Chains A and B, each alone.
Chain A
Amino acid sequence: MGALYAGLGFYAGYPITPSTEIAEILAERLPELGATFVQMEDEISSMGAIIGASLTGLKVMTATSGPGFSLMQEGIGYAVMAEVPSVVVNMQRGGPSTGLPTSVAQGDVMQARWGTHGDHSIIALTASTLQDAFEITVQAFNLAETYRTPVVLLFDEVLAHMREKVTVPAPGELEVVERLRTSVPKGTNYHPYLAREDGRLPMSDFGGRHRYNVTGLVHDMWGFPSTDPKVAYDLLHHLVDKLENRADVIAHYKEYYLEDAENLLIAYGSPARSALHLVEERRNRGAKIGLLELQSLWPFPKRTVRKKCEGRSHILVVEMNRGQICQEVAKAVSNPERVYLSNRFDGMFISPQDILQTLNVIGGRGI
């Protein structure tokens, strides 16, 4: 729904639990809107097809889960290298391998960051309610278009199979970023990979007035392959810096009861629901506890996390993996010895009671 609001023009995908519902809905909705839906032969080709379609000027998306996300990694790297705006939804399920196809997990956080080979940077966003998922999906398209990058929507099985009320914003209520196209006239030398002063690269659609080359090889400002060390150095710098240097701008988060919180929970995705439930319940009993809900995971919002964690007695990261974001929090804060982990990775949803138990242990109150 958020994707349609943002102006999705092309979707390619391959069926996989628990993301199939997205394809089923879009197979019906996109033709009605004159947009394109294609079911491909696998996730590799789905990723390839959206990249191809993006270069013709369309806003594009694919959706998958664990094993399919693994297959998409080479294509994601291509979109990073060739700077092709694209949105990839990963409805996380239990892994590795076929794992727990119908159970919830958040084990792909690091894969979203480092799944494709080579030094690079990427954007990954998440949400804990369907309303937020709608809005963050619009954001994903906005960021993909702004920074010419793949954006991963790292949702999870609980969110995928949940039903709750969503108020669809009126057209114009949420900002929708359109693709920046070059104003260079026909015949003048257009440099597809020459960044403007603000770091952005205006695009030209395939079929349009400029003909240029797109490649996954290290390339110069024309998009032509190069092995010149200076070209390689500058390109790598550009690809990483354009996102890492803007981590604060890209950062999305929500905070609850932080002002006087002694204990701080940090959560993202569906576990943030349990965390918020616990925080509100404890607040009612007078406990000074708060929640920082991360909605952007990559680039990791280091400065935000560091600032919000200052002076807390305990920082408890709640997630459904073996501590993938917990490590990042510990690296970001000035008091890493106060960072603890409350997690589940057995396919069961983490409950407020699970988090409370960890809090009790940390507080020396036993299980």
Chain B
Amino acid sequence: MVRDYIRQRFFPHLWCAGCGHGTVMSGMIRAVERLGLERNEIVVVSGIGCSSRMSGYLDFHTMHTIHGRALAFATGVKMGRPDLKVIVPMGDGDALAIGGNHLIHAARRNLDLTAIIMNNRIYGMTGGQFSPMTPFGEKGTTAPLGNIDHAFDIVELAKGAGASFVARTTTYHVQEITRFIAKAIQHKGFSAVEVMSQCPTYYGRKNRLGGAVDMLERYRDGTAPIGSKKGTENPDLIQRGIFVEEERPEYSGEYSTLVNNCRRSAQDGER
């Protein structure tokens, strides 16, 4: 039951009506449930922003840190207790603007963390400023005349930085959220899962995209699974799916090998 994994006394949550983040949270809980993980085995480390409030609602070991640095705090948690599963929910501003450096370095190290990037293309908590994911020409309160910045492609960025698991889906595709997050948690190494998540309150309203339902329909119509006929026929569609899933030496495992080698050579020295 999803209910078993949340702290009901801290509800209602602060997300706006129609926000996609609750869908992502529910997908993540279902992934944990599907994997049969104990609540005590999981640490959720988040940063600052709408999406980052998720940590407080979940009945795991939870840490709500500072803006952009969730992956840095999570690195300490994972290296302190490599046996725990560490999940890091972040927003696009949190993960890619202020926290962009930590994202690429965590990916490069291939430390076994599960980064869930909720991409709503806007800073919601502060009221609708453009983010590094706001497309060129779109509007935000700090881009009233249209955004002249260019957006990142999270998948390409994570791939380039060396993430060994990279996936993308949307809040319309709820089954995929659960499936991808479950795979990401199981994956031994750094995993980045982008979930496009609607913000009807700010991004939707500023850019005349309609309500939550309209935005979800755009996710349905504007995306296609990797290699699908729909995607091949229309290359402008955003691709969904698992882009990278590779076995590579994982950081905390490598560190414990290093420690063991160190101890073995110390013992040999004593003989």
Is the beta-carbon distance between A52 and B77 smaller than 8 angstroms? yes
Q: Using an 8 Å CB-CB cutoff, how does the interface string of A73-101 with B read, 1 for contact, 0 for none? A: 01100100000000000000000000000
Surface stretch bound by B, among A39-47, A150-158, A276-284: A39-47
Answer yes or no: B185 CB below 8 A from chain A CBs. no
Q: Decide yes or no: A32 and B263 within 8 Å by CB, A78-B65, A207-B61 being known contacts.
A: yes
Is the beta-carbon distance between B255 and A36 smaller than 8 angstroms? yes
Contacts of A355 in B (CB 8 A): none
Is the beta-carbon distance between B60 and A211 smaller than 8 angstroms? yes
Is the beta-carbon distance between B62 and A75 smaller than 8 angstroms? no
Is the beta-carbon distance between A31 and B262 smaller than 8 angstroms? yes
Contacts of B120 in A (CB 8 A): none
Q: How far is the CA of A40 from the CA of B101 in the complex (A)?
A: 11
Q: How far is the CA of A224 from the CA of B8 in the complex (A)?
A: 12
**How many residues of A are in contact with the other chain, CB < 8 A?**
44
Contacts of B76 in A (CB 8 A): 10, 12, 38, 48-56, 60
| B41–chain A nearest beta-carbon distance, Å | 7
Is the beta-carbon distance between A216 and B66 smaller than 8 angstroms? yes
The CB with the most chain B CB atoms within 10 A, among A48, A51, A216, A217, is that of A48
| B208–chain A nearest beta-carbon distance, Å | 33
Partner of A48, one of B39, B55, B65: B65
Is the beta-carbon distance between A211 and B40 smaller than 8 angstroms? yes
Q: Using an 8 Å CB-CB cutoff, how does the interface string of B68-82 with A read, 1 for contact, 0 for none? A: 010111111111110
Is the beta-carbon distance between B84 and A207 smaller than 8 angstroms? yes
Q: How far is the CA of A41 from the CA of B71 in the complex (A)?
A: 11
Contacts of B262 in A (CB 8 A): 31-32
Contacts of A12 in B (CB 8 A): 75-76
Q: Decide yes or no: A53 and B69 within 8 Å by CB, A41-B101, A41-B102 being known contacts.
A: no
Is the beta-carbon distance between A213 and B40 smaller than 8 angstroms? no
Q: How far is the CA of A55 from the CA of B76 in the complex (A)?
A: 9
Answer yes or no: B56 CB below 8 A from chain A CBs. yes
Answer yes or no: B145 CB below 8 A from chain A CBs. no
Partner of B72, one of A36, A44, A60: A44
Answer yes or no: B266 CB below 8 A from chain A CBs. yes
| A41–chain B nearest beta-carbon distance, Å | 4
Answer yes or no: B259 CB below 8 A from chain A CBs. yes
Is the beta-carbon distance between A57 and B63 smaller than 8 angstroms? no
Contacts of B60 in A (CB 8 A): 211
Q: How far is the CA of A45 from the CA of B65 in the complex (A)?
A: 12
Answer yes or no: B105 CB below 8 A from chain A CBs. yes
Contacts of A74 in B (CB 8 A): 66
Interface residues of chain A: helix, strand, loop or mixed (majority): mixed
Answer yes or no: B45 CB below 8 A from chain A CBs. yes
Contacts of A53 in B (CB 8 A): 76-77, 79-80
Answer yes or no: B206 CB below 8 A from chain A CBs. no
Contacts of A58 in B (CB 8 A): 80
| B199–chain A nearest beta-carbon distance, Å | 21
The CB with the most chain B CB atoms within 10 A, among A40, A52, A56, is that of A52
Contacts of B80 in A (CB 8 A): 9-10, 36, 52-58, 206
Answer yes or no: B258 CB below 8 A from chain A CBs. yes
| B15–chain A nearest beta-carbon distance, Å | 14
Is the beta-carbon distance between B40 and A209 smaller than 8 angstroms? yes
Q: Which residues of A from 306 to 343 have beta carbons under 8 Å from B?
A: none
The CB with the most chain A CB atoms within 10 A, among B77, B83, B258, B266, is that of B77
Contacts of B66 in A (CB 8 A): 48, 74-75, 78, 216
Contacts of B45 in A (CB 8 A): 52
Partner of B75, one of A32, A40, A60, A78: A40
Q: How far is the CA of A51 from the CA of B270 in the complex (A)?
A: 36
Q: Decide yes or no: A206 and B84 within 8 Å by CB, A45-B75, A211-B39 being known contacts.
A: yes
Is the beta-carbon distance between B40 and A42 smaller than 8 angstroms? no
Closest residue of chain B to A41 (Cβ to Cβ) is B105
Closest residue of chain A to B262 (Cβ to Cβ) is A31
Answer yes or no: A214 CB below 8 A from chain B CBs. yes
Partner of A214, one of B41, B63, B74, B75: B63
Is the beta-carbon distance between B77 and A206 smaller than 8 angstroms? yes
| B191–chain A nearest beta-carbon distance, Å | 18
Is the beta-carbon distance between A49 and B40 smaller than 8 angstroms? no
Closest residue of chain A to B258 (Cβ to Cβ) is A31
Is the beta-carbon distance between B83 and A207 smaller than 8 angstroms? yes
Answer yes or no: A225 CB below 8 A from chain B CBs. yes
Answer yes or no: A215 CB below 8 A from chain B CBs. yes
Known: A215-B64, A224-B7; 7 extra A-B contacts, CB below 8 A, are A32-B262, A48-B66, A49-B73, A52-B75, A56-B76, A206-B43, A213-B7
Query: Which of A's residues lie within 8 Å of B, judged by CB?
Result: 9-10, 12, 31-32, 34, 36, 38, 40-42, 44-58, 60, 74-75, 78, 205-209, 211-217, 224-225
CB<8 Å pairs between A and B, sample of 21: A32-B263, A38-B79, A40-B72, A44-B69, A44-B72, A45-B71, A48-B65, A49-B79, A51-B76, A52-B74, A54-B80, A55-B77, A60-B76, A74-B66, A206-B61, A207-B61, A207-B84, A211-B59, A213-B7, A215-B64, A224-B56
Q: Which 6 A-B pairs have the closest CB atoms?
A: A52-B76, A56-B80, A48-B72, A45-B72, A53-B76, A49-B76
